[in-house]
């Protein structure tokens, strides 16, 4: 079964070279995917072939069952996505080929001449990737299968950055010139290739603005059937959407009550709004610019790794290092994480996109650092990559948009865990964690509500009875989750363009906490938190339904 999974990974890496780069699989860093309808047909044929082989193979060892289950889940999700034509309308402001084609350069090797040759080759041929992507979008447009106008507008704005004066492509020549492997002849090619990449993005952006946008959907919601399918692919289980919607409102009420209590600990007699204003305006409670934020986060990460290793987690040696960097301009605001490569030659990295603010409130950033880095994504994904004897290579390195419920559920659980362990040592950091929890709870009701066309319940804590749409979402995120308006608009655009993904955080955390409670109840005084975490992390990212079965077997 490991051999079959390896063969599947080799074929997918060959057909999707940019994905191979994200996964840390060498040998493909010079090439591009074929995003066109013809390219999708080739992928379908390859996946169907591997599915037949895996479905008929026998499993003789427990680890074979895990490998087969993961491979089948991946194959089922991908085949359904392609056969349903999702790739023909794969355009949104945060996680579509439009962003990924640019972002792949963020994780490419810049320490060797070969690495720079690959970067130069990809920049020089980026029109092939963007052109094939345009073919897919054009077929979708001709057939009435398009992204919404709101997503198109967000992407056009990004495209103007990718093609403009602040484009990350423009930084490549200077970065190469300042490195130890500089080569004048390659530098000439790199300079031309970077300019070519900007032009290619400008041309695709023009197409989106002048040809695609007039045909784009005016409405945002995906509808219940499509939304349920998307949510299932992210969660690895089927949930009752309306029950989850109601639970989201319950979480909002519970979190709100605790926020009031913690705010009183920060400034007695002040309202929650007054406390938040204090935390966001007091220079002593803020980072003074992005560079100071990066230093602050890096210091928190280093301390957490040092103090928790061997006590609450057994951390593999390569996972003890995590990098923190500023993301290139043009992407959505916030933070995200890229896992290490298969051989750990590329370390796990937290990327921050804080915008242009020079005064950055820190009360939320401690919890976010634990979510994105250690013990959140970095620990979970680092352990997964390290489990060479237990997980197939496919399972270890394929970090994709499915099994999100496990990965994001763990990361959100890690925020709560660090509070339990005392690493949110100031009340304002606890309030920041609760603010992040509130935002994720709002995501549940906004994501499900906006796509299913639901109204807030009559007893809702915010605008009861109102239709949940884009404007409602911005208002809720601003007033309930207390996000800056620019962040709130970016978040709501994300939910509407990436249905089902936003609920994975709270739903995943809910499953993990529920399983922990059940295991604790069964084991009584013998329950050991470190052992529970080791058992959970040893499965690698799997569907939430499968996770329950494994841990409660």
- The rounded mean pLDDT for the chain is 95
pLDDT of residue 160: 97
Contact 93, 332 (CB under 8 A): yes
pLDDT of residue 487: 87
Q: Which two tokens stand for residue 457?
A: 């319940």
pLDDT of residue 399: 77
Mean pLDDT for the stretch of residues 58-75: 93
pLDDT of residue 327: 86
pLDDT of residue 357: 78
**pLDDT digit string (tens) for 359-370?**
999 999 999 999
Alpha-carbon gap, residue 463 to 455, rounded angstroms: 9
* Residue among 155, 162, 92, 152 at smallest CA distance from 126: 162
Mean pLDDT for the stretch of residues 439-450: 98
Alpha-carbon gap, residue 280 to 530, rounded angstroms: 36
Residue 236 Ramachandran class (φ > 0 left, ψ -120 to 50 alpha, else beta): left
pLDDT of residue 271: 95
Residue 293 CA to its chain's centroid (Å): 21
Mean pLDDT for the stretch of residues 38-62: 96
**pLDDT digit string (tens) for 128-169?**
999 999 999 999 999 999 999 999 999 999 999 999 999 999
Contact 29, 122 (CB under 8 A): yes
Mean pLDDT for the stretch of residues 476-488: 91
CB atoms within 10 A of CB 144: 9
Which helix H or strand E contains 352, and what residues bound it? strand 348-353
**pLDDT digit string (tens) for 330-361?**
666 778 898 898 889 889 999 988 877 789 99
CB atoms within 10 A of CB 123: 23
Task: Look at the pTM and tell me if it is higher than 0.85.
Answer: yes
Provide CB contacts within 8 A for 180, sequence distance 6+: none
Residue 192 CA to its chain's centroid (Å): 32
Q: Which two tokens stand for residue 38?
A: 């013809």
Alpha-carbon gap, residue 262 to 248, rounded angstroms: 21
pLDDT of residue 331: 65
Alpha-carbon gap, residue 156 to 162, rounded angstroms: 10
Provide CB contacts within 8 A for 249, sequence distance 6+: 445, 456, 457, 460, 461
Alpha-carbon gap, residue 339 to 364, rounded angstroms: 22
Q: Return the DSSP state at 350.
A: E
**pLDDT digit string (tens) for 363-414?**
999 999 999 999 999 999 999 999 999 999 999 998 766 789 999 999 999 9
Provide CB contacts within 8 A for 369, sequence distance 6+: 297, 300, 301, 350
Residues linked to residue 211 through DSSP beta bridges, in sequence order: none
pLDDT of residue 353: 85
pLDDT of residue 332: 66
Exposed e or buried b for every residue in 429-467, given b needs 16+ CB within 10 A?
Answer: bbbbbbbbbbbbbbbbbbbbbbbbebebeeebebeeeee
CB atoms within 10 A of CB 408: 27
**Can you tell me whether residue 301 is helix, strand or coil?**
helix
pLDDT of residue 488: 94
pLDDT of residue 272: 95
Alpha-carbon gap, residue 197 to 428, rounded angstroms: 44
Please report which confidence band the pLDDT of residue 329 belongs to, taking 50, 70 and 90 as the band edges: confident
Residues linked to residue 361 through DSSP beta bridges, in sequence order: 286
């Amino acid at each position: 079964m490991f051999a079959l999974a390896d063969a599947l990974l080799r074929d997918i890496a060959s057909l999707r070279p940019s994905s191979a780069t994200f996964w840390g699989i060498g040998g493909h860093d010079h090439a591009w995917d074929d995003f066109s309808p013809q390219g999708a047909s080739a992928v379908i044929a390859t996946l169907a072939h591997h599915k037949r082989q895996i479905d008929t193979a026998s499993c003789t060892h427990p680890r074979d069952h895990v490998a087969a289950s993961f491979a089948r889940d991946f194959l089922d999700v991908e085949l359904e996505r392609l056969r349903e034509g999702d790739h023909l309308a794969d355009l949104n402001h945060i996680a579509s080929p439009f962003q990924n084609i640019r972002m792949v350069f963020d994780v490419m090797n810049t320490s060797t001449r070969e690495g720079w040759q690959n970067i130069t080759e990809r920049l020089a041929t980026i029109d092939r990737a963007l052109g094939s992507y345009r073919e897919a979008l054009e077929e979708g447009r001709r057939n009435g299968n398009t992204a919404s106008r709101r997503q198109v507008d967000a992407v056009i704005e990004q495209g103007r950055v990718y093609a403009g004066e602040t484009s990350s492509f423009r930084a490549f020549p200077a970065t190469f010139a300042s490195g130890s492997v500089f080569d004048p002849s390659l530098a000439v090619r790199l300079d031309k290739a970077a300019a070519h990449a900007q032009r290619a993005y400008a041309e695709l952006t023009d197409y989106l603005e002048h040809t695609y946008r007039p045909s784009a959907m005016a409405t945002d919601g995906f509808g219940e059937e499509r939304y349920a399918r998307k949510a299932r692919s992210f969660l690895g289980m089927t949930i009752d959407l309306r029950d989850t919607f109601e639970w989201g409102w319950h979480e909002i009420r519970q979190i709100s009550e605790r926020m009031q209590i913690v705010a009183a600990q920060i400034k007695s007699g002040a309202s929650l709004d007054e406390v938040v204003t204090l935390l966001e305006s007091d220079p002593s409670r803020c980072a003074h610019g992005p560079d100071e934020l990066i230093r602050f986060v890096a210091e928190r990460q280093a301390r957490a790794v040092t103090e928790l290793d061997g006590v609450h987690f057994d951390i593999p040696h390569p996972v003890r290092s995590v990098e923190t960097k500023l993301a290139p301009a043009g992407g959505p605001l916030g933070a995200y994480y890229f896992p290490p490569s298969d051989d750990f030659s590329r370390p796990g990295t937290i990327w921050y996109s804080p915008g242009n603010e020079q005064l950055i409130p820190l009360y939320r950033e401690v919890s976010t650092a634990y979510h994105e880095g250690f013990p959140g994504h970095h620990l979970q994904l680092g352990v997964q990559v390290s489990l060479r004897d237990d997980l197939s290579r496919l399972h270890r390195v394929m970090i994709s948009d499915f099994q999100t419920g496990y990965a994001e559920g763990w990361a959100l659980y890690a925020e709560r865990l660090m509070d339990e362990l005392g690493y949110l040592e100031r009340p304002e950091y606890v309030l920041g964690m609760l603010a992040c929890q509130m935002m994720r709870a709002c995501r549940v009701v906004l994501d499900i509500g906006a796509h299913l066309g639901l109204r807030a319940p009559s007893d809702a804590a915010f605008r009861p009875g109102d239709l949940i749409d884009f404007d409602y979402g911005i208002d809720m995120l601003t007033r309930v989750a207390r996000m800056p308006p620019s962040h709130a608009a970016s978040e709501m655009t994300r939910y509407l363009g990436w249905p089902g993904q936003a609920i994975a955080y709270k739903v995943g955390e809910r499953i993990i906490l529920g399983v922990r409670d059940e295991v604790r109840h069964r084991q009584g005084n013998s329950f050991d938190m470190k052992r529970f975490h080791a058992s959970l992390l040893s499965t690698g990212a799997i569907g939430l339904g499968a996770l329950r079965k494994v841990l409660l077997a």
